[in-house]
Structures are given as structure tokens and as C-alpha cells.
Amino acid sequence: MLWVDKYRPHTLDQMTTVNTDIAQHLKRLVQDGDCPHLLFYGVGGAGKKTLALAVLREIFGAAVEKVKVEGKTWKLEQGERKIEVELTTMSSNYHVEMNPSDVGTKDRYVVQEVIKDMAKSRPIDAAGQQGYKVLLLNEVDRLSKEAQHGLRRTMEKYSSACRLILICTSVSKVLDAVRSRCLPVRVAAPSVETVEKLVMDVAQKEKLVMPPELAARLALHSERNMRRCLLSMEACRVQQYPFKADQPVQLCDWEAYVTQIANEILQEQTPKRLLQVRGRFYELIVNCIPPELIIKRLVRELNRKLDVELKHETARHAAYFEHRMNEGSKAIIHMEAFVANFMAVYKKYLISSFG
């Protein structure tokens, strides 16, 4: 078992990396017996999913951890059209966890039909429990507007039999109508000191000797992402043990790949190179790297080698094309457009500098 799963907190009292007041407030809501719809938002690796699972355990007890993973195909009828939707769910007797945005443009059918059917049914063996089922939805900010409107209607109509726990990174991409029907909970990223303490605690439990210098470097490298920090720590353990104070922290393969793409863009600005970059983008997307993360990492790598006057312009264009990417359906088109735009700006800058 990976350390990130092995040392995941299971109860609200164990959530030491999250604001204690938040955990205690949620605990009081559950104990009062009237838990509202919840919306957890914050950066990746801050503990949103862990906090949501801790709330579920507080409501239903240890039985909520007995889950099954199921890939199911729903055949939905929309007038004369017949639509097939395939989605993987993780469920117990008391909750269902899913990611509706995985089905792409069909997400509204998942919300309108699949979630509606689940919301109608009461939990199995509800005696002594709250009498409602909980639906845990990941990446709500990636849902289309139609799907979010359908979600709002589901929340209103089936609130007596169903509670929703929504998880997202950017709360600004969630409709006001959905936000207003939830209790929003911001899960802030832990401090670097907290992440460093987590590294030392895990090392102590694993009976490893962790140099403080390496622990500090792991915390900085992870950018306050606890999940990434523990994964990097485990990679260092596989790479070399006993640990050394000057031991390098390995980059993820996709991060090294994006660095390579940035170097290729700076070396040559031609249609041929643009076509090569497009192929590399496809390879990253096929390996489930989110397009927003690719652009963010690419801009960071490009800015490391750019003059100050170009950095602001690059960031502005990246923000523009990322916004268009979120509004459109084909991410690769907007990613390629950003690279083409950057190549034109960079080549013009080179010509003016040496011309």
C-alpha cells in the first residue's frame, strides 16, 4: 500500500493538517443530525477528499469504508435518441462516489438521469442511520453549465433522501445557484512546516532515518501538496536508502517531459516544431495529465528562460487560452494555439533583439 493511502486520516479528529475549527464545526453539524449539502474547494493535495471521507465516516461509521468499484453502462432515452453512458463508481451501502465530468459532453445526462435515480433510493439497511444517501461528486468545477443546472434541480427535489458532497479546485467555475445551496468549506493548502512535519512523522512510523535537509526539500518541491510530497518521499526511498541530506528529489515523468517540450519550443519556432509539440501534447493527454496542468507547467518552464518583458505577456496569453479551453470541447486546439501564439511573439522578440 502506498504511504499516501496508508497514512490517510480516517476521522475528523485525525485531520491535523486541516484547520481544526473547520473539522470541529463539521463534526457538530453531523452530531446535530442535519448535515447540509457540502462544497469542499481548494488546491490539489490539500485534503478535500480526505475531509469528505472523514465526514462520511462520522455520519455512517466504519461501514462506509466497505466499498465496491463498479463500471456500469447506462442506456438513457432522450426523446428519439438513445444514449449510452459508461461511468466508474465507488459505492457502499450508504454513499456513492463518482466523477461525472469523466463522460465529457454527456455529463448532463449523468446528472439528470443517473444521479436522479440514485437520489430517489434510500440507503440499504438504513435502520439506526440518518436515512439518506450521500453522493460524493469529484471535479464539479469541470461540469458543463447544463449539468450544473441539472444538479441544482436534483439538490432541491431530492434533498430529503439525498445529501451531496461536492469537491472542486476552482469554486469560481461552480454556478452561483449550486453554491448557494451548499455549505462552502475552503480547504487551504497546509504550510511548508506542516508538510515537513508530515514527512518526519511518516518516516518515524516507517522506521526510516530522514535527514531534516531532505525533508525540507521534499516539502518545498511538493508546493504544499501533501499527496505529491508523500509520493516523492516514497520514490526517494526506492531510489536510495539510507537517505542522504543532498539526495535529489525526482521529478515526475510528465514534468520532465513538459520541460523537454519547453526547451524544444525555445530552440525552434517553425510549423514543423509546432506539429511535433502537438504530438507530445496528445501523448500527455492520453496518459491522463489534465490540459490545465500541462499549460501551467509549460508556462512555468518557459518563464524560467525568458526576459522579464516577455514573462507577463506569456502569462496573459496562457490565461486567455486556458479560459477558451475551459469554454470549448477540444483542449488540444487551444493548447496548440497558445504554443503558436508564443512562437510568433518569441520569434518577433528575437528578430527585434538581434536585428
Phi first, then psi, for residue 132 (nearest 5°) are: -135, 160
Check whether residue 205 and residue 72 sit in a common domain: no
Tens of pLDDT, residues 53-108: 888 888 888 878 888 888 877 777 766 778 787 888 888 888 888 888 877 777 87
Check whether residue 268 and residue 336 sit in a common domain: yes
Check whether residue 276 and residue 136 sit in a common domain: no
Check whether residue 55 and residue 175 sit in a common domain: yes
Query: How buried is 8 (Cβ within 10 angstroms: 0-12 exposed, 13-18 middle, 19+ buried)?
Result: middle
Confirm whether 129 is domain-assigned.
yes
Confirm whether 37 is domain-assigned.
yes
Check whether residue 124 and residue 232 sit in a common domain: no
C-alpha 109/C-alpha 73 separation (Å) is 12
Q: Are 94 and 60 in contact (CB under 8 A)?
A: yes
C-alpha 57/C-alpha 30 separation (Å) is 10
pLDDT at res. 355: 58
Confirm whether 244 is domain-assigned.
no
- Order across the sheet with 68-78: list the strands: 68-78, 81-91, 95-98, 133-137, 162-168, 38-41, 183-186
Confirm whether 293 is domain-assigned.
yes
Check whether residue 148 and residue 204 sit in a common domain: no
Confirm whether 348 is domain-assigned.
yes
Confirm whether 247 is domain-assigned.
no
C-alpha 133/C-alpha 155 separation (Å) is 12
Residue 210, sorted as left (phi over 0), alpha (psi -120 to 50) or beta, turns out to be beta
Please name the residue that has the C-alpha cell 458543463: 144
Cell of 278: 502537438
Confirm whether 207 is domain-assigned.
yes
pLDDT at res. 128: 44
Please report which confidence band the pLDDT of residue 340 belongs to, taking 50, 70 and 90 as the band edges. Answer: very high
Domain residue limits at 204: 192-239
Check whether residue 258 and residue 224 sit in a common domain: no
Confirm whether 15 is domain-assigned.
yes
Judged by average pLDDT, the poorest of 16-20, 24-28, 127-131, 305-309 is 127-131
Residue 248: asked if its preceding bond is cis (omega within 30°), the reply is no
Q: Is the model's pLDDT at 130 over the cut of 70?
A: no
Check whether residue 142 and residue 234 sit in a common domain: no
Tens of pLDDT, residues 266-303: 888 888 999 999 999 998 888 888 888 889 889 989 98
Q: Are 260 and 283 in contact (CB under 8 A)?
A: no
C-alpha 168/C-alpha 96 separation (Å) is 17
User: Could you tell me the pTM of the whole model?
Assistant: 0.79
CATH of the domain at 328: 1.20.272.10
Check whether residue 229 and residue 343 sit in a common domain: no
How many domains is the chain partitioned into structurally?
3
Check whether residue 138 and residue 167 sit in a common domain: yes
CATH of the domain at 44: 3.40.50.300
Check whether residue 281 and residue 314 sit in a common domain: yes
Check whether residue 306 and residue 158 sit in a common domain: no
